[in-house]
């Protein structure tokens, strides 16, 4: 007869905090990570969470800063993500300033309009660009891992499509001849920069929990 241990194994709660208040970005992350049986929170669930100054020179620096700061504050496994658009003809701009490219009163429309203005008279074949995504994972002890993903394309001559957010109405995937905003979430989530980065972090999240 087998002896039953009196000790009970304490399992870590399957919880993940995504260090963002961007609900559209959160929605994409949840969709890509579905199947991991996680309870996913965002900073909207922690109204008193500390402010994070995204002053890193790279996407990876910003992602790691978000993950570590929020993990230490919540004492939970946390994911930091930073992403943006890099345009060859603009020497990599807007880069880490993608979300605030149009200034203090920025929004997606103004950011897209500024890109179109700066690229005026530049033909489509010379409008190469890529989306970059950095994802970092941390717990209360510090940084666990940081990975990246990239998706190449072209900047369109005008905005097209109604899905997505950010620069999706301008970002054309040459293979399909359509923007991310035209392709829709089902296809975007299989080829995007965010998908490629989260695909790398997914097994690390799985390994973290028993």
Answer whether residue 27 is part of any domain. yes
* Residues 60-104: tens digit of each pLDDT: 999 999 999 999 999 999 999 999 999 999 999 999 999 999 988
Exactly one of 45, 82, 88, 139 is catalytic; name it: 82
pLDDT above 70 (res 5): no
Q: What is the DSSP string of the chain?
A: -PPPPS--PPPPP-EEEE----HHHHHHHHHHHTTS--EEEEGGG-TTPPP-----SSHHHHHHHHHHHHHHHH-S-EEEEEEEEEEGGGTT-BGGGGGGTT-TT--HHHHHHHHHHHTTT--GGG-EEEEEEEEEEEETTEEEEEEEEEEEEEE-SS---SSSSTTTTTEEETTTTEEHHHH-HHHHHHHSHHHHHHHHHHHHHHHH--
What is the pTM for the complete model shown? 0.89
Residue given tokens 């504050």 in the structure block: 73
Answer whether residue 103 is part of any domain. yes
The domain in which residue 194 lies consists of 15-208
* Residues 182-195: tens digit of each pLDDT: 999 999 999 999 99
- Give the CATH number of the domain where residue 148 resides: 3.90.950.10
CA–chain centroid gap for 49, Å, is 19
Answer whether residue 8 is part of any domain. no
| Catalytic annotation present for 88 | no
Answer whether residue 137 is part of any domain. yes
Answer whether residue 80 is part of any domain. yes
Q: How many domains does the chain have?
A: 1
Answer whether residue 62 is part of any domain. yes
């Amino acid at each position: 007869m087998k002896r039953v241990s009196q000790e009970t194994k304490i399992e870590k709660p399957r919880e993940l905090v995504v260090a963002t208040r961007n609900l559209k970005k959160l929605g994409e992350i949840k969709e890509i990570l579905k199947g991991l049986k996680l309870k996913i929170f965002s900073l909207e669930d922690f109204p008193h969470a500390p402010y994070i100054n995204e002053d890193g020179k790279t996407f990876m620096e910003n992602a790691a800063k978000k993950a570590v700061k929020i993990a230490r504050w919540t004492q939970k496994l946390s994911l930091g993500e930073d992403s943006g658009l890099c345009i060859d003809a603009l020497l990599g701009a807007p880069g880490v300033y993608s979300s605030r490219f149009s200034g203090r009163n920025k929004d997606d429309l103004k950011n897209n309009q500024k890109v179109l203005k700066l690229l005026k008279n530049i033909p489509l074949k010379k409008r190469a660009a890529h989306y970059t995504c950095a994802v970092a994972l941390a717990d209360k002890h510090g940084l666990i891992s940081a990975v990246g993903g990239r998706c190449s394309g072209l900047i369109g001559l005008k905005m097209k499509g109604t899905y997505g957010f950010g620069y999706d109405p301008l970002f054309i995937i040459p293979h399909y001849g359509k923007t991310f905003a035209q392709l829709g979430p089902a296809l975007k989530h299989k080829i995007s920069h965010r998908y490629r980065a989260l695909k790398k972090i997914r097994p690390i999240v799985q390994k973290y929990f028993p």
